[in-house]
Amino acid sequence: MADSLLNMKAFLATARAGSFSEASRQLGVAPSVVTKRVGQLEWSLRATLLRRSTRRLHLTDIGERYLDVIRQIVREYDEMATGILRSPNELEGHLRIKAPASPMAIDLAQVLSSFQIRYPRVTLDAVLVDRTVNPVEEGFDIVLTMMPSSFDGVLEEPLHVYERVLCAAPSYLARRGHPRHVRELGHHECIVFSPIGPAWTFAGRNGVTTVAVRPHLVTNNGALVIDTLCAGNGIAVVSRAAAAGKLKSGALVELLPDFHVPDLWLKALVPATRSNLARVQTLLASIREAFQGAGG
């Protein structure tokens, strides 16, 4: 195992540096040693990982495919070795997190800051984006999402339920009128949150109705949906928590309350290979605790 690990580290250093000589300087060994280790790795995999030229080394297509896999193997081994040397109660390492850019019922910055103050040896990389993300393919330890997507090799942990509401600004309603039934939404200017799409489902006294709306504006950012609604530019389905302040002030008005919009669950997507890491589970517990404290 030790030789295989050294071979993989030599490959990673060479792929990063683009030359055997630079990789050897980074690793503190002779260039011939790095060349030999990469060759041994290629022989064991029965594949050519690097394309050699007079000026620079380049990854082959197979090398590109193996790069992330080998990086993950080395990363997990190093984390295991570090964990053996340290107290099992001392969290250490790196976490890469994706969360919605749209407003949530908790202050994520406060959650992450409190977590790092308590566990200063954990570093964080937080990416805020409103789109579907496969944590395995994009290298995330935790993906917070309200999207229904599922992926192979990824565990789903429910965190919080979001009530949703159909609403518009009084200025829009004064201009276009109030819809009397969800079927009339097809004739209105609708703002569509692109991860959810233009098929809106409602539960009424007579069962479930799905309406295919005609998007007046499409965006992947939930905050922009709220701002556009307040500007009087259409009707949208939004999180009640995100719109609570605007609904309370009268900037937005709830529409058709007899037609219930199905709730959305905020869930955590965690690669199965990362789910048992103590720092992953501890951060998830901190996020759940924050939602319980928020009561929303």
How many other C-beta atoms are found inside a 10 Å radius of the C-beta of residue 206? 6
Mean pLDDT for 168-172 is: 98
Mean pLDDT for 33-51 is: 89
Q: What is the model's pLDDT at position 88?
A: 47
Asked if pLDDT for residue 85 goes beyond 50, the answer is: no
pLDDT in tens, 16-32: 888 888 888 888 888 88
Mean pLDDT of the chain: 88
Q: What is the model's pLDDT at position 245?
A: 92
Mean pLDDT for 113-130 is: 93
pLDDT in tens, 238-268: 988 889 999 999 999 999 999 999 988 889 9
pLDDT in tens, 179-203: 999 999 999 999 999 878 899 999 9
Mean pLDDT for 104-129 is: 91
Do the beta carbons of residue 270 and residue 157 sit within 8 Å? yes
Q: What is the model's pLDDT at position 80?
A: 65
pLDDT in tens, 227-237: 999 999 999 99
Q: What is the model's pLDDT at position 169?
A: 98
Asked if pLDDT for residue 75 goes beyond 80, the answer is: no
What is the pTM for the complete model shown? 0.61
Token digits of residue 162: 């979001």
pLDDT in tens, 213-223: 999 999 988 88
Q: What is the model's pLDDT at position 185?
A: 96
Do the beta carbons of residue 261 and residue 248 sit within 8 Å? no
Structural domains present in the chain: 2-85 (1.10.10.10), 93-160+265-294 (3.40.190.10), 164-262 (3.40.190.10)
Residue 154: which residues within 8 A CB-CB, separation 6 or more? 134, 135, 136, 269, 270, 271, 272
Tokens 């007046």 found at: 216
pLDDT in tens, 270-288: 998 888 888 999 999 999 9
Tell me the three-class secondary structure of 268-296, residue by residue.
Answer: EEEECCCCCCHHHHHHHHHHHHHHHHHCC
Asked if pLDDT for residue 86 goes beyond 60, the answer is: no
Q: What is the model's pLDDT at position 144?
A: 94
Asked if pLDDT for residue 204 goes beyond 60, the answer is: yes
Do the beta carbons of residue 192 and residue 280 sit within 8 Å? no
Q: What is the model's pLDDT at position 84?
A: 47
